[in-house]
């Protein structure tokens, strides 16, 4: 369970990233966070694994106060939280399997990391994760030989090797074409259902959010302005999230 208790984040320039956010996310939920650029979507998900420190309030994950974690405790905590980025964050000159195996680095002695001495068990787990993503045949290709969608699947496979309880995805499909974006969202949905992993996705594409997520959180100027079932989202709610004076078609369309 993830719990925000009156969480605020004020950046050094005075901008409010989050403004008194209180919400609870249960295990196994698929949650999409929507809103304008700069509304606080990325800030919200990045406080969960303490990539961003909060200014006040409390973020709890399975009864752990995230704000109190540091050093080894923080690194250990982050291992159970996968993070997917828009830019994939792959070493493009390395092979696909080597990129997936980087998930094992935090638990390895430095000398083994230096020489890439991964165990047979680690390699099998990496191949199994790639197989789940349907790209095991790409394991020994360089990552820069893959399409954008395939690279995002490699990032997902790398996350699965961590055996995460939570996956945070920060605009994971914004750089993909509409067809590929839907394929990657299919992967997220399958992982969520088959493995009961909580998934929080910060996403601009409202159509995809409504199609795939069970729950929608709408955020505006750091405040939660909608939190409910995707099926209940209507034009009035979208007006509330995106402000009435905006051309919503240009804001939310693929």
The pLDDT assigned to 88 comes to 83
117 or 11: which leads in pLDDT? 11
**pLDDT over 90 at 112, yes or no:** no
Q: What is the arithmetic mean of pLDDT over 94-121?
A: 80
The per-residue pLDDT for range 198-209, each reduced to its tens digit, is: 999 999 999 999
pLDDT tens track for 100-109: 998 887 776 6
Tell which residue, 236, 155, 140, 233, has the closest CA to residue 188: 155
Look up residue 86 and give its two tokens: 């828009």
Nearest to 18 by CA among 166, 220, 168: 220
Q: What is the pLDDT of residue 245?
A: 45
pTM of the model: 0.88
Q: Which residue has better confidence, 111 or 59?
A: 59
Q: For residues 207, 208, 210 and 214, what is the CA-based torsion angle, rounded to 10 degrees? A: 180
Give the pLDDT mean for 32-39.
Answer: 94
Q: Which listed CATH number (3.90.1150.10, 3.40.50.2300, 3.10.20.340, 3.40.50.300) goes with 29-52+81-252?
A: 3.40.50.300
CA-wise closest residue to 29 among 207, 204, 217, 158: 217
How many C-beta neighbours within 10 Å does residue 179 have? 9
Strand 2-10 to 56-61 pairing: antiparallel
Q: Is the pLDDT of residue 32 over 50?
A: yes
pLDDT band of residue 114 (cuts 50, 70, 90) is: low
Q: Decide if 70 contacts 52 (C-beta within 8 A).
A: no
Question: pLDDT value at position 118?
Answer: 81
Confidence at 59, pLDDT banded by 50, 70, 90: very high
Q: Quick one: pLDDT band at residue 248, thresholds 50, 70, 90? A: very low
Confidence at 113, pLDDT banded by 50, 70, 90: low
Instruction: Identify whether the C-beta of residue 213 lies closer than 8 Å to the C-beta of residue 198.
Output: no
What average pLDDT does range 98-122 have in this prediction?
78
Starting at the edge strand that comes first in sequence, how are the strands of the sheet with 215-220 ordered? Answer: 81-85, 166-170, 198-202, 30-34, 215-220, 223-229
Predicted confidence band at 60 (pLDDT cuts at 50, 70, 90)? very high
Residue 173, token pair as written in the block? 């499909």
8 Å CB contact between 167 and 191: yes
* DSSP character string of 63-131: TEEGGG--HHHHHHHHTTEEEEETTTT--TTSBHHHHHHGGGGGGS-HHHHHHT---HHHHHHHHHHHH
Asked if pLDDT for residue 115 goes beyond 70, the answer is no
What is the pLDDT, as a whole number, of residue 104? 82
φ/ψ of residue 228, rounded to 5: -175, -170
Query: What residues does each domain of the chain span?
Result: 29-52+81-252
What integer pLDDT is reported at residue 251 of this predicted model? 39
Q: What is the mean pLDDT of residues 64-75?
A: 92
Coil/strand/helix, residue 239: helix
Residue 56 has phi, psi (to 5 degrees) of: -160, 165
Mean pLDDT, residues 166-189: 93
Rounded mean pLDDT of the chain?
Answer: 90
Q: Which two tokens stand for residue 157?
A: 């496979």
């Amino acid at each position: 369970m993830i719990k925000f208790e009156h969480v605020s984040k004020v950046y050094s320039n005075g901008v409010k990233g989050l403004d008194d956010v209180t919400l609870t996310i249960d295990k196994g939920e698929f949650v999409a966070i929507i809103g304008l650029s700069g509304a606080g979507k990325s800030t919200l998900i990045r406080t969960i694994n303490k990539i961003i420190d909060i200014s006040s309030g409390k973020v709890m994950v399975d009864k752990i106060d995230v704000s109190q974690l540091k050093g080894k405790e923080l690194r250990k905590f982050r291992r159970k939280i996968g993070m997917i980025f828009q830019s994939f964050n792959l070493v493009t000159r390395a092979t696909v399997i080597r990129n997936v195996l980087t998930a094992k680095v935090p638990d390895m002695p430095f000398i083994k990391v230096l020489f890439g001495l991964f165990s047979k068990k680690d390699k099998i787990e990496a191949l199994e994760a790639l197989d789940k993503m349907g790209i095991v045949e790409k394991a020994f290709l360089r990552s820069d030989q893959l399409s954008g969608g395939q690279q995002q699947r490699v990032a997902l496979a790398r996350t699965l090797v961590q055996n995460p309880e939570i996956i945070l995805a920060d605009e994971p499909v914004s750089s993909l074409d509409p067809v590929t974006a839907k394929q990657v969202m299919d992967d997220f949905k399958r992982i969520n259902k088959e493995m009961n992993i909580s998934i929080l996705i910060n996403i601009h594409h409202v159509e995809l959010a409504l199609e795939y997520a069970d729950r929608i959180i709408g955020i505006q100027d750091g405040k939660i302005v909608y939190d409910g079932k995707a099926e209940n989202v209507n034009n009035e709610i979208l007006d509330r999230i995106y402000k009435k004076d905006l051309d919503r078609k240009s804001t939310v369309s693929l």
